[in-house]
Structure 1
């Protein structure tokens, strides 16, 4: 009984020591299906579109800082430090140069800021080929010379440097294995500065599992800790690649692709042109048959790869270019087949069209004859209306001449009563009203949709109601003449017995009601007269 009690107490202590985050549900999938991959590929598409803009923004910041430094009489150390930070991913070679200037000939190991600058500098060296310098510097600035607060960062930089060298010489196993062992040893010492359950501890643990060949433990531990790292953190990309490689070593290709896509998204968000995850996603998609998407990803990656390409990444770039060349050739062959298919279909369609043209030739001729008849009828109708208007104008002018003549007679004291009658102009007014009434009825009979079309050009609150007595307002009567093709304002003024200024005033009144005042005349010709 005592033994069971002791075992129970031990189990309770072990469970209590497990961090809360390990007990929580893991959101990232250990088993991936197509929906997971499709979701992440859609996110990757969006990040690829934003990546070029992010690169341009980073380059702009670098150029701006260069101008600031050039404008100063003397460049301060903090300027070199800032330039090193800005160039780290976009221009690694420049970052090394600026960091060398910031460090100077030597550093003070007791200064934490200088130590941190040195560690960042050393992690850049292997990627640019300065391997001996990086290894010698690690030996020179040994852990005993580093302040206690900076020793974990020293070990983190050490395992990063050794891991880069191991990857660089992956084709030479004796060198690669030696530096992989050094990376594992440095990582184990680094883990001693953290408690089990800390994010840093678990990241290092997952990487060690991978380097030691325990791939199931590597991706299990890696997926669990990846949930607590932001995508904009470079560690997210590094750990995602480790998880993808671990899945790949176990033959689980879908999971490998999923975490490569996550790594590519992280590298794009971090604006890391030298990252190879996007190219490797393209390789995987090409092998699975998604050639178009693979070609797009590899093209996007290689466009900016020269900004920070490294020798260690050369095999990835060469594979990308080889696959792009193969995909291009496959597309060419596909396009050739497609051209022949389209040519055959086109010939068949041309034959069908020729038959249809012959079939409808007679019908088209008949329709053309009917159209000519309709056009002739329309011309005759317009001629009839214009002749009618000429008659009205002539009658109006004769009556007006008669009024002036009678007025002169009466002015000479002849027939005073006739003078009073004619001076009122009632004869002409009555004749004009009759003529206008005939004109309105005739016009609305010929063009019953005139008011509706004109109203379509006016604001809703300014539109004219349909006349119930077949009588047009004066301004619409003026535009009725324009509809008939009569645009001589003097002629219209004579017919309506108005001054030319009155005609212009009415035109302006209608234009003021238009939806588009500037385009009203053109819209009238296109909508009403057409």
Structure 2
């Protein structure tokens, strides 16, 4: 497994571009690892339980053996749970005191400082580190101290993240890193890792890549070491603007963290932040929840603060999408209702015209003296009928085709439980656009029948009260009300239903317009009806 992961990292390091399919494959692997995280944690807990049982069997007087087991328990907990790691670090201190062993006492203080720093308790970590005496330390312990001080200043610089204090913290961190590097065995993991880290922090990306490539060629790294390598190297690619490669590295780091039951980690948090910026809300939400659970499980204060900064943004988007999904059926119903209203309006127009046609035909049979007038009305009615029947059936055909396609797609998505795609499908329906298209079609057909309607309508007003249409506007609400009246729809209730206004609003519009006219109110609609079609 370690060899495969190392090879995978090497491929990413050497590759200049990865396709979306590779990202999807890696994310699928991460999702599987998240699903199995409880199993990895259970294995971790079992190992801890075995050590606790071992500690329980050690005689109280054998302080040296007890110190060794406490140190093993501390190592198990230090990236798994802050409270327990802190507890065993204190037990190490107490046992070292009982042994009257200054070297072990300082070793315990370094362990305690690491935990305090991992939890974001910078002041407490600093106070603990300042009490450590380096005199008599072996090189390995000095190296641990210097590398911990380097991490302290790097983390403090990241926490402040300003132009005043951060550069100074980074300089101190580099100084401590250099001191540690003099003591680390050459070609060891710590030697290469801290060389790479120092060069990343100093903007020397090519030099950093050299050391990290050495680590990625090492098939003997643990999952935790692989996670540290991949996560830190991702910063190098972020600085270079190679975000896709950085994402791949963070995914691999997150997988390795899960497999090692590492709860004190930034990889999955950084991954969720990048994916959120790229608009992948679903994945970002999944990973930020994992990051939050890890932060609370470990007790990392600074990680909780980081997560709390982005979590509300992601949660707000999630709530918005859930609400949109809930509104999908309502939106569908609203669209159907709107189109049915349009259909009813067109049917009313058609039947009114057909009724006029029948009346005209009856007048023809009863009075030859009005033959010409009746013929004119019949001709006009026929034009209305032809235009609007054609519009009615064409509109219905398009409407039912849309509804059939929408219904089939919706059934497929519902059966597959693809809520995200259902939301996207619902978003393709634009009620406002459908309504605007409906009214636009009415305007075009009406003006085709009455091309001089606007000019003749304006002759009924003084120049300052005449209607001036906006650019690309065929009819406005004032004109549309009286266009419907000219089409034979005189009832305010029908007009209100067609235009989706209240009856009171329609009556108010009509009264306001008539009051502005130079024609007496009682004659106004007669003059409107006198406007001729083509």
For Structure 1 versus Structure 2, the TM-score category normalised by the shorter chain is 0.5 to 0.7
Partner of 1:262: 252
Cα distance change, pair 316–231 in 1 and its aligned pair in 2 (3 A): farther
Deviations 1:305-328 (A, max 9, x none): 311142322343113422331331
1:239 corresponds to 2:264? no
Instruction: Name the count of aligned residue pairs.
Output: 326
Question: Higher Cα Rg: structure 1 or 2?
Answer: 1
How far the C-alpha of 1:51 sits from its partner, in A, is 1.0
Alignment partner of 1:290 out of 280, 285, 304:
280
Aligned equivalents of 1:115, 1:277: Cα separation in 2: 31
Secondary structure at the aligned position of 1:193 is classed as coil
What are the equivalent positions in structure 2 for 1:165-180 lying under 5 Å apart? 165-167=156-158, 169-180=159-170
How far the C-alpha of 1:172 sits from its partner, in A, is 4.9
1:50 corresponds to 2:36? yes
Q: Larger relative contact order (C-alpha < 8 A, sep ≥ 6)?
A: 2
Secondary structure at the aligned position of 1:156 is classed as helix
Secondary structure at the aligned position of 1:222 is classed as helix
> Contact 1:96–1:124 at 8 Å: present in 2 too?
yes
- After TM superposition, the score normalised by the length of structure 2 is 0.52
How far the C-alpha of 1:74 sits from its partner, in A, is 5.0
Partner of 1:398: none
Deviations 1:32-56 (A, max 9, x none): 3124423322321221111122224
How far the C-alpha of 1:344 sits from its partner, in A, is 8.1
Aligned equivalents of 1:147, 1:110: Cα separation in 2: 14
Segment drifting more, 28-37 vs 192-201: 192-201
Cα distance change, pair 230–285 in 1 and its aligned pair in 2 (3 A): farther
> Contact 2:67–2:95 at 8 Å: present in 1 too?
no
What are the equivalent positions in structure 2 for 1:61-460 lying under 5 Å apart? 62=48, 74=60, 76-104=66-94, 116-167=107-158, 169-194=159-184, 197-219=187-209, 221-228=211-218, 232-336=222-326, 338-340=328-330
Partner of 2:11: 27
Aligned equivalents of 1:231, 1:266: Cα separation in 2: 11
Cα distance change, pair 234–158 in 1 and its aligned pair in 2 (3 A): farther
> Contact 2:295–2:303 at 8 Å: present in 1 too?
no
Cα distance change, pair 132–319 in 1 and its aligned pair in 2 (3 A): closer
Deviations 1:269-299 (A, max 9, x none): 2211232321322222233233222222222
Secondary structure at the aligned position of 2:176 is classed as helix
How far the C-alpha of 1:146 sits from its partner, in A, is 0.8
> Contact 2:37–2:259 at 8 Å: present in 1 too?
yes
> Contact 2:71–2:92 at 8 Å: present in 1 too?
yes
1:41 corresponds to 2:63? no
Cα distance change, pair 61–166 in 1 and its aligned pair in 2 (3 A): same
Aligned equivalents of 2:160, 2:253: Cα separation in 1: 21
> Contact 1:126–1:134 at 8 Å: present in 2 too?
yes
How far the C-alpha of 1:96 sits from its partner, in A, is 1.3
Cα distance change, pair 276–150 in 1 and its aligned pair in 2 (3 A): closer
Aligned equivalents of 1:264, 1:147: Cα separation in 2: 34
How far the C-alpha of 1:173 sits from its partner, in A, is 4.6
> Contact 1:244–1:257 at 8 Å: present in 2 too?
yes
Gaps of 5+ in 2: 1-8, 338-399, 405-534
Aligned equivalents of 1:105, 1:132: Cα separation in 2: 25
Partner of 1:408: none
- After TM superposition, the score normalised by the length of structure 1 is 0.53
How far the C-alpha of 1:207 sits from its partner, in A, is 0.6
Secondary structure at the aligned position of 1:28 is classed as helix
Partner of 1:519: none
